[in-house]
Homo-oligomer: A and B are copies of this chain.
Amino acid sequence: MQFLSDNAAAVHPAVWKAMMAADAADAPYDNDALSRELDSAFSALLGRECAALWVATGTAANCLALASMAQPHGGVVCHREAHIEMDEAGAPGFYLHGAKLLLADGASAKVTPESVAAVIDPIRDDVHQVQPHALSITQASEYGCVYRPREVAELATLARERGLGFHMDGARFANAVAFLDCAPGEACAGVDALSFGFVKNGGLGAEAIVFFDPEAARMIRYRRKRAGHLQSKGRFLAAQILAMLENDVWLSNARAANAAATEIARAAGDRLLHPVEANEVFLSCTIAEREALRTQGFGFYDWGTDAARLVTAWNAQDEHVSALAQAIAGL
């Protein structure tokens, strides 16, 4: 009964169906009919004109999005525990040609206008210090917490005032929207580029980079090819994404994962280290307690020495979730 992560779960049937349906040869790269539908699909979904490019991974999506905002000599503000800082093997440094990550603080890996200002205001505008060029937030955050639309808007305002590009790492954007129960566009209002995640949400091998500035999209098309991310049978990536958007599969999947996490959260009670607003649960848990859970057949990651990290996937089985909830309650 795996609660290790949502990044290696099975794939939603609608995706398989769409993949098979796209088998017939079509134009290569992103010139095929399906890829050509992406812009309007996302524009409709987000209620804003935008361009959408597929890529294979969230790391590529994040870095290509940021490449449209940060010059090599600049910096990107992000949370100290942001995925781009912690778990992308230095990918931002690679794609941004050495640009720095300027680390901000905030509870549950959510930055605030104040914590961002605390990082950028002390930077003298002289050539000795790296100037901030962009702000990147993760929605939902690395601790599974969600920025409210008002919070996103405030950060967008700060970014605009300070002349920063505004990127949203939406590896679990679907889970955030599911939690907020709002129009998707509200959960990313004011953002310049959004990494819209699908793989962790029942997808297979395609994520979308959504650009609200057509010039940025135009430039990043070159960078995507240059990074070896322009797959020749791109119709399959487009097929995956469109299948997830159709009938709001992306949203139902996220709701399911969130509901499972919520159930576990209720059982965890005051063990919770962070509010559970998406599909990740961080709870304090001794080594012995974790041993006990593992003995009962539950798989999850340790989180430091005193905690556990549980992640529910889109297809979490009710009986497994209930079993885990009970096991936690029984610790």
User: Interface of A with B (CB < 8 Å)?
Assistant: 2, 4-5, 7-11, 16, 19-20, 23-29, 32, 55-57, 59-61, 63, 71-75, 86-100, 127-131, 199-200, 204-205, 219, 221-233, 235-237, 313
Partner of A27, one of B8, B60, B222: B8
**A60-B228, A199-B233, A204-B233 as given contacts; A90 in contact with B25, CB under 8 Å:** no
Distance between Cα atoms of A61 and B227 in the complex (Å): 11
Q: How many copies does the complex hold?
A: 4
A90 touches B130 (CB 8 A): yes
A226 touches B91 (CB 8 A): yes
A214 to chain B, nearest CB (A): 15
**Which B residues are in CB contact (< 8 Å) with A200?**
232
- CB-nearest residue of chain B to A230: B127
Distance between Cα atoms of A60 and B61 in the complex (Å): 16
- CB-nearest residue of chain B to A63: B228
**Which B residues are in CB contact (< 8 Å) with A129?**
86-87, 89
A16 touches B7 (CB 8 A): no
**A205-B233, A236-B204 as given contacts; A222 in contact with B127, CB under 8 Å:** yes
A12 to chain B, nearest CB (A): 10
